[in-house]
Structure 1
């Protein structure tokens, strides 16, 4: 099974905690992008009929469609070493068991075997006190870096660079100082406390999307959030686009207001910024992230195709999203990996963060996980008028 896409969420047992405290965003990104988390020593690993069952004591963070990393298999039937490495979870038959598919022979596999939630395979080449720079490890990537300043409580500052020599020094910034001094904003929480917020992070080796509901510590009903991300878009230019790397950010300093131009929201300004134009010239170029259905409206609160479920066939209508330099006239430059939106209304009535649906049509064979983007304050009561639903593909591959 393809394991290129990694799915993480605050709903996992033993998941990293994002909160209104200094350093919590970097701790989350470290765990999901480069380290993995929740290592457990297995009490047994047994294969029967193409299904491997991992048994452990206590709880484990892994979920169905998530990816774990197995290590320490040193004995068993022929080919036993093939159980080491990344495996996609297909079942949770009990509180202390996880299953995954394998082509290896039936039998008991031995060794001091460990299992952890697998990281997305990114690098952290530079760091400082509550500062970090992340980079894809994929040799096919654009090689751009994301600098995260996590020295504040309720939000962090983010900026991309074409190259860096240390955590405080870089060349080719996006956004530029003229576009927003100090970099863009990502929310963590609307309150400066250790109360956890809800989040979903989905990544492959070149892009990650992160959806955060920062108002949750104020009220259980404040479940709406915004979707941001960083990494290589799927370039549409023949011959490639060496600068097709995006950073989605807010320009608002208050966490509750950081929904502006989110990847699945109404695009008021071009706050998905690329290091240069598709021609490879100039400096940071601002882009809009739009659905292929043609309307610049919040996903799941978009009346283009009517309400959900469709009055004609009862279906959920879905669309990929793309990046362009203007809302109305510029051609698509690149697709946004993994993100799926809906040109229908009333989706907030039907889908909540982490709900799973089977894909259909162009998304057949894929599992989609729901998010709840908003176009209103993230510390207020959501409604079907200001909050919708988008989806992220957790099956992959994205490219």
Structure 2
């Protein structure tokens, strides 16, 4: 079980490779979440999830039930869903599961997406490797996938796991990021649709389906997943002005303190209704200040923690406003 974040990357010794073949994502998640990979000094330990159910290129993982919610994360990478293909895998969270693909109270709901959301692995139906980068603990993981092999700085971000909820004892705070909204990948050269870190929605904006992701239950606690999106504490410009977190900001280093300013990413399920915060993830208040995967040590705003900058692209074609940057705290463990 890992309470401290572990960083994983396609170029690590012994790392599994991701491609447009069935089973490549489940093999990757097996390694990151459950088994680890590599040997000796270069070995990477697993994040500490359990593998609850397994079938041919299908899995049900579960995050830590003591530190976390013990939610199940179902992945169908089998290329057997009618109309689907191996360019993307189908994903859904469940409160309870009894077998591969068999669960109750899913996020997203079956009514919203019959087979689950679709996370893109590769634009090509081939065994060509696609770069990826991930950070994970026993409660959550982020993964960035360069499905078009255009550069890891253009990778699409995904997330599954518990957020830092502001609801005391919250057992339903597991979030699954949106991908292609259940649609198969057509092989298009346009950017994969992933919206969790896309629209810088303002606190007063409404939340709708397909805007960012789904949380297992709303703040009322009633059964049924609800959509969520992200915002920042400061007033954000309209999404037509800037579309990605970490894209717009002042000079770095800041003339105020000679250092770094950043904001928590708030998870919102309605106007002014903030459920919690994304774990170990921040939006810099600077305009693309760092190179991709640059390490920034001793950040005073995080009590001296180390952060890693990760560039990403969001939704639609690559434009002047679609690329952003996130900062991940790689020092602070989960509780």
Query: What range describes the TM-score normalised by the shorter chain of this pair?
Result: 0.7 to 0.9
Contact kept, 8 Å, 2:217 with 2:223, in 1: the verdict is yes
Does the CA contact (< 8 Å) of 2:131 and 2:152 recur in 1? no
Partners of 2:199 and 2:12 lie apart in 1 by: 26
In 2, the alpha carbon distance for the partners of 1:190 and 1:209 equals 20
- Please name the residue that 2:312 is paired with: 373
Q: Give the Cα–Cα distance (whole angstroms) in 1 for the partners of residues 100 and 7 of structure 2.
A: 27
3-state SS in 1 of match to 2:39: strand
**Is 1:235 paired with 2:165?**
yes
2:234 is aligned to: 293
| Cα deviation, residue 126, structure 1 | 0.4
In the aligned structure 2, how far is the partner of 1:313 from the partner of 1:365? 15
Residues 120-161 of structure 1: CA deviation (Å, up to 9, x unaligned) = 111010011110000013423212111001123211110111
Asked if 2 retains the 8 angstrom alpha-carbon contact of 1:299 and 1:344, the reply is no
Query: Do 1:346 and 1:388's aligned partners in 2 also have CA atoms closer than 8 Å?
Result: yes
What residue in structure 2 maps to residue 210 of structure 1? 143
**1:315 positional shift:** 3.7
Do the aligned residues in 2 keep the contact of 1:285 with 1:325 (CA within 8 Å)? yes
- For these two proteins, the number of residue pairs brought into alignment is 311
Q: Which residue of 1 aligns with 2:132?
A: 199
Q: CA deviation at 1:358?
A: 1.8
Residue 316 of structure 1 and its aligned partner are, at CA, apart by: 3.5
**Map 1:1-399 → 2, pairs under 5 A:** 4-40=4-40, 62=42, 116-152=43-79, 153-216=86-149, 219=150, 221=151, 223-237=153-167, 239-250=168-179, 251=181, 253-254=184-185, 256-263=190-197, 266=200, 269-295=210-236, 297-302=243-248, 305-310=249-254, 315-326=259-270, 329-347=271-289, 350-352=290-292, 354-377=293-316, 385-399=321-335
Q: 1:190 Cα deviation (Å)?
A: 1.5
SS in 1 for 2:273: coil
Structure-2 change in CA distance of 1:20 and 1:139 (3 Å): same
Deviates more, 1:305-314 or 1:195-204: 305-314
Name 1:53's counterpart in structure 2.
Answer: none
Structure 1 376/284 Cα, relative in aligned 2: closer, same or farther at 3 Å?
Answer: closer
Q: 1:35 to 1:291 in 2, by over 3 A?
A: same
Larger Rg: 1
* Whole-angstrom distance in 1 between the partners of 2:64 and 2:127: 32
Cα contact 1:265–1:298 (8 A) shared by 2:
yes
Identify which range, 228-237 or 257-266, moves more after superposition.
257-266
Q: Supply the RMSD in Å over aligned alpha carbons.
A: 2.4
Q: 1:222 to 1:244 in 2, by over 3 A?
A: closer
Inter-partner Cα distance in structure 2 for 1:384 and 1:13: 35
* Counterpart Cα distance in 1 of 2:93 and 2:266: 19
CA shift for structure 1 position 225: 1.7
List per-residue Cα deviations over 1:255-280 (Å, max 9, x = no partner). 75434312465468433211211221
Deviations 1:214-243 (A, max 9, x none): 111xx4x57412221111111112x32121
Q: Is the 8 A contact 2:63 2:70 kept in 1?
A: yes
Check 1:259–1:293 CA distance in 2 against 1; reply closer, same or farther (3 A cut).
Answer: farther
Q: Tell me if the contact between 1:264 and 1:390 (Cα under 8 Å) persists in the aligned partners.
A: no
Q: 1:310 deviation in Å?
A: 4.0
Residue pair 1:157, 1:184 contacting (<8 A) in 2 also: yes
Q: Secondary structure at the match of 2:110?
A: coil
The farther-off stretch of 25-34 and 338-347 is: 338-347
Relative to 1, partners in 2 of residues 1:375 and 1:275: Cα closer, same or farther, differing over 3 Å?
A: closer
Q: Give, in angstroms, the shift of residue 355 of structure 1.
A: 2.1
- Whether contact under 8 Å (2:131, 2:146) holds in the other structure is yes
